[in-house]
Structure 1
Amino acid sequence: MNFKNQINFLKQLQKNNNKEWMDANRKWYKEVRDDFIVWLDQMNAKLAVVDDEYYDTPGKKGINRINNNLMFHPNRPIYKDHFGAGLDKRPKTGDFYVEIGIERGMFAGGLWRPDPKRLRSIRDAIDYNGEELKEILNKKSFKETFGGLHEDVKLTNAPKGFSNNHPHIDLLRNKTFAVAMEFPTQEIFSDNFEKKLIAVYQEMLPFRRYLNKAVTV
């Protein structure tokens, strides 16, 4: 993967964040995108080796659009400042997200503000066996890697059907169940970058499996 070419493209795109520039540089964009897809295919194969329940996700299916969604975020620029993709992308579950941007990159996973039905399923799982999730979140290596659940909107009181005295009320009040680890973009040029990606994937796996089981059972 020619990450240097990818970062150079993103830098120029952010200096010229308009359709005219993109149209004039469409060949360069396709070159970078195709290279990223090939790299994602390689990561897809390597993750399948370490996870016997891995969901095959070719790069073309995993890669995200570079266009921002201006319908919901009209004030954002037309194009993103990063390339992103989801791996282990089983339908209707939380994938393993990889993002590479100009200044930073990120590994993330879980469910960001799931719809009411899936959110209820997660809360029911916590009600039934919240100790398992807490054990995952409190594992030393997990906390060192991710810090904890991603901070997002929380309910002030207990969700409907649960008591404020519930032993896992701190988890039940969450609307997002996701974790993330950021890293400086310079790390993508390290010989150990792919090993780090795999290690983070494995560290996150019990957390993602807990959530995905909750929303699919």
Structure 2
Amino acid sequence: MNFHDLFQFLEELQQNNNKEWMDAHRKWYKSLRNDFIVWLDDLDLTMSQLHSDYYPTPGKKGINRINNNLMFHPNKPVYKDHFGAGLDKAPHSADFYIEIGLKHCMLAGGFWRPDPKTLRSIREAIDYDGEKLQALLDKPSFKKTFGGLYEDEKLTNAPKGFSQDHPHIHLLRNKTFAVVHELTKKEVLKEDFKDKIVAVYKGMLPFRQYLNKAATV
């Protein structure tokens, strides 16, 4: 995958973020998209060998659309400034997300504002054994890689059915349970980028497995 070319395409697209420019350069876009899918397929195969519960996700299934959803976000530009994809993407589970873009390059995973049923299940798991999740978050290598839970909207008070003085109230108030590892453009362009992804994936895996178990109970 030629990430130099991908960044160049995204830079020109953002300077000409309209359908006319995209139509004139669709061959370039399709070539990059196909290369990205092949790259994702190779990464998917590599990661599928890391643990038995991995959910194979072909690149075509994992890749996100480059078009913004203007129906719900009419003020956004027509096209995104990144290529994104989710792997290890079992239904109703915390996937592993890859984003290569102009403003952000990142590896992320977990649940972004899950539906009420899933959120309730995660909170019930925390109520039962939240110390396990906290231990994962407090692990030095985890903190070094991810910092902590992604900062998103939180409840002001305890969720319904939970006490304000719950020992894990700081976790229960979260609406999003996800972590992010920011990447630099330089890291993306290095020859060992795939090894970097695999290392971050492995470091995130216990966190995602805790959430997946919670979501399916």
TM beyond 0.5:
yes
Tell me the equivalent position of 2:34. Answer: 34
C-alpha separation in 2, matches of 1:74 and 1:145: 35
Instruction: Return the offset for 1:71.
Output: 2.1
C-alpha separation in 2, matches of 1:149 and 1:159: 18
Aligned pairs, number: 217
C-alpha separation in 2, matches of 1:116 and 1:132: 22
Structure 1, unmatched stretches of 5+, are none
State the one-letter code of the partner of 1:9. F
C-alpha separation in 1, matches of 2:68 and 2:103: 18
Whether the aligned pair in 2 keeps the contact of 1:10 and 1:101 (CA below 8 Å) is: yes
Tell me the equivalent position of 1:120. Answer: 120
C-alpha separation in 1, matches of 2:105 and 2:17: 20
Instruction: Return the offset for 1:200.
Output: 0.2
TM-score (norm 2): 0.98
| Pairing 1:97–2:83 present | no
Instruction: Return the offset for 1:187.
Output: 1.2
C-alpha separation in 2, matches of 1:51 and 1:39: 20
Instruction: Return the offset for 1:140.
Output: 0.3
C-alpha separation in 2, matches of 1:52 and 1:199: 17
Instruction: Return the offset for 1:104.
Output: 3.6
* Structural RMSD (CA): 0.9
C-alpha separation in 2, matches of 1:103 and 1:79: 14
State the one-letter code of the partner of 1:199. A
Note the alpha carbon deviations across 1:34-93, whole angstroms, 9 max, x for none. 000000000000101112211000000000000111222221111000000000000111
Runs of 4+ in 1 over 3 A off after TM superposition: none
Q: How does 1:195-214 map to 2 (within 5 A)?
A: 195-214=195-214
Tell me the equivalent position of 2:110. Answer: 110
Whether the aligned pair in 2 keeps the contact of 1:89 and 1:96 (CA below 8 Å) is: yes
State the one-letter code of the partner of 1:21. W
Q: How does 1:1-217 map to 2 (within 5 A)?
A: 1-217=1-217
C-alpha separation in 1, matches of 2:139 and 2:159: 26
State the one-letter code of the partner of 1:51. H
Whether the aligned pair in 1 keeps the contact of 2:81 and 2:103 (CA below 8 Å) is: no
Note the alpha carbon deviations across 1:93-132, whole angstroms, 9 max, x for none. 1100000012541000000000111000000000011011
State the one-letter code of the partner of 1:95. D
